[in-house]
Amino acid sequence: MALAGLLTSMSPLTAVVSGPAQGLFDVNQTKDGLRIEFEIEPYPTVPQVYTFSFLVWNASDNKAYAGILNGTIVFNRTNSVDPPIFEKLDGPHLNHLFRTSPALSKAGVWQVQGRFHRVAGFDVWATFYVTIRAP
């Protein structure tokens, strides 16, 4: 109940998705003039290796944003004393950055952040939440 109360009080810039599903996990967020599309494949359910992708678009015209220098993905399991896991994203390939990682190796709610270093302007952070069940 406490977790549900915490998650419903969070800023609208975050997305929480959980539960069994098929296919691709795909959520969007708009921040600092960019629309960030976050994908996980296969759909996250239990601890295993996943491919994490970010597609970055201009929010105003939905065209691919080519102003990313590089990026980092940060995994942090909520309500845990484990340190965050930082990994460099591969790319950019135009507006696409990705990483295949075993980081979601434990059950729980994970905060997944993408950090994008831009050619012009401040870095952009996008935060998403993913629930991983025990196997």
Domain-wise residue ranges, the chain: 2-132
Task: Give the Cβ contact number of residue 92 at 10 Å.
Answer: 22
The pLDDT tens digits for 96-111 are 999 999 999 999 999 9
The pLDDT tens digits for 16-45 are 444 444 578 999 999 999 999 999 999 999
Does residue 15 contact residue 6 with C-beta atoms inside 8 Å? no
The pLDDT tens digits for 50-87 are 999 999 999 999 999 999 999 999 999 999 999 999 99
Name the residue among 68, 63, 10 with its Cα closest to residue 35.
Answer: 63
CATH homologous superfamily of 2-132 equals: Immunoglobulins (2.60.40.10)
Which residues, 6+ apart, have CB-to-CB distance to 96 below 8 Å? 53, 54, 55, 56
pLDDT score, position 17: 46
pLDDT score, position 135: 84
